[in-house]
Amino acid sequence: MGKRETILETLDERKIDYVLTDESSRREYMAVVYFPLPDAAVEPVLDELQDAGIDEDAYTVVIDAETVVSRRFQALREEYEDGNVESDRISRHELQAEAEDLTPTFPVYTVMTVISAIVATAGLLLDSPAVVVGSMVIAPLIGPALGASVGTVLDDEEMFAESVSFQIIGVVLAIGAAAIFALLVRMTNIVPPGLVLSNVGEISERLAPDLLSLAIALGAGVAGVVSIATGTSVALVGVMIAAALIPPAGVAGISLAWGQPSAAIGATVLVLVNLLSVNLAGLLTLWYAGYRPENLFQLGEAERRLRHRIVGLVVIVLVFAVFLGGITYASYEASTFEQDAREEVRAVLAQDEYEEFQLLELEVVMGADYPFRNPERVIVTIGGPPDGSPPELATVLDERIGSHADSPVTVEVRYVIVLER
């Protein structure tokens, strides 16, 4: 009776409508109180009830109401909702429950991760974006990716430890399953025996990732937390998070199966930096949204733990960012070299003695030293009259093009007869 009166007094003070029913159950006596609240009011009202002495022995169930027609409810909404991030978010109780629901049981998580990695590997080898996207849809990664952040800000160490372990196991499983499946595919000659990984578009773009990948992962982390914190659908955001993790893991596995461990370095780094960036973005976004531990005495310890984890994540992400920056710079140098080589060829052919010749095609062949690839060979295709090209043209082009390379580059000049009618 005392708890019931405390609840009713608190609701009356807050001018909250309620319905009280008496129920019979295995307990001697039970009363059920139903009262509608806007999203922004759930957390402060529940906190006030707990401060008044209503502990966890009293059942609290939060459900979504389709429509509430009430002037007093509208007044509550105006009181608690002020248009900022904190007023749009769900309560920490709902957030914790949502994060737990998004993480499947370990057997289901294992099976779905392996299946998504195998599907992604098949799509990568087929160079099929549609199949790769399909693998992202079934990947169960959003729960563990966001659970670590939720566990940290709410000081739920059990959730944090479980989410971190799930993430580590998920990465290992994804890369391992992709490597085993790709090895079987290669041994059975399902794909052409001489398949060059760099010639497959879906694979090559993940063998040498750049800094833009970091922006994708940070965006996925922020979007994931915002979607779960505001109670909106997280399905599409889960696909985005999986997009940052599953395909690179598949590429890492394929590279190992093809006996190219150096090529797997870039993809593996991409997986790790994306995973850490999602966690970092999640931590910062949840704290900014105003989530704090339920017990105020835990606040100082939670803040200390949060700072340590943020600093640790920032340091590790920056280290990986430097690595990605090196790949980006190497890619920039390769693009600059190609542009300079093309300009040099055009400048040479613009001279009077070579006015009968024209540049048909210029191809820069990159080396296989992933992830920092450098130009290895330049193939210049030149069209001209039937009497052949001047013997000194190849030498001139070799000298002019080679002057822009940091390392020795082979210049191959191909001559094509052009007949004019």
Q: What is the CATH number of the domain that holds 342?
A: 3.30.70
The count of residues in the chain is: 421
Domain closes at, from 267, 294, 321? 294
Rounded Cα distance, 346 and 201, in Å: 29
Same structural domain, 174 and 270: yes
**C-alpha distances in Å from residue 124, one per residue of 137, 195, 249, 272:** 15, 12, 11, 19
Is the pLDDT assigned to residue 1 strictly greater than 60? no
**Among the ranges given (23-27, 70-74, 417-421), the one the predictor scored with the smallest mean pLDDT:** 23-27
Q: Is residue 341 part of a domain?
A: yes
Rounded Cα distance, 261 and 252, in Å: 8
Angle, vertex CA 163, rays to CA 137 and CA 152, nearest 5: 120
Contact 164, 172 (CB under 8 A): no
Same structural domain, 115 and 205: yes
Angle, vertex CA 258, rays to CA 256 and CA 261, nearest 5: 40
321 pairs with which residues across the strands? none
Same structural domain, 256 and 139: yes
Domain closes at, from 81, 115, 142? 81
Other beta carbons less than 10 A from residue 19's beta carbon: 9
Same structural domain, 97 and 239: yes
* CATH classification at residue 195: 1.20.1080
List the domain range (segments joined by +) for residue 25: 2-81
Same structural domain, 127 and 67: no
Q: Is residue 282 part of a domain?
A: yes
Same structural domain, 230 and 339: no
**C-alpha distances in Å from residue 88, one per residue of 38, 39, 220, 286, 327:** 10, 7, 20, 13, 40
pLDDT, tens digit (0-9, with 9 covering 90-100), for 307-365: 888 899 899 988 888 888 888 888 888 889 889 999 988 998 888 888 888 888 898 88
Number of domains the chain contains: 3
pLDDT, tens digit (0-9, with 9 covering 90-100), for 170-225: 999 999 999 999 999 999 888 887 788 878 888 888 887 878 877 877 887 788 77
Domain closes at, from 81, 109, 144? 81
Same structural domain, 118 and 214: yes
pTM of the model: 0.74
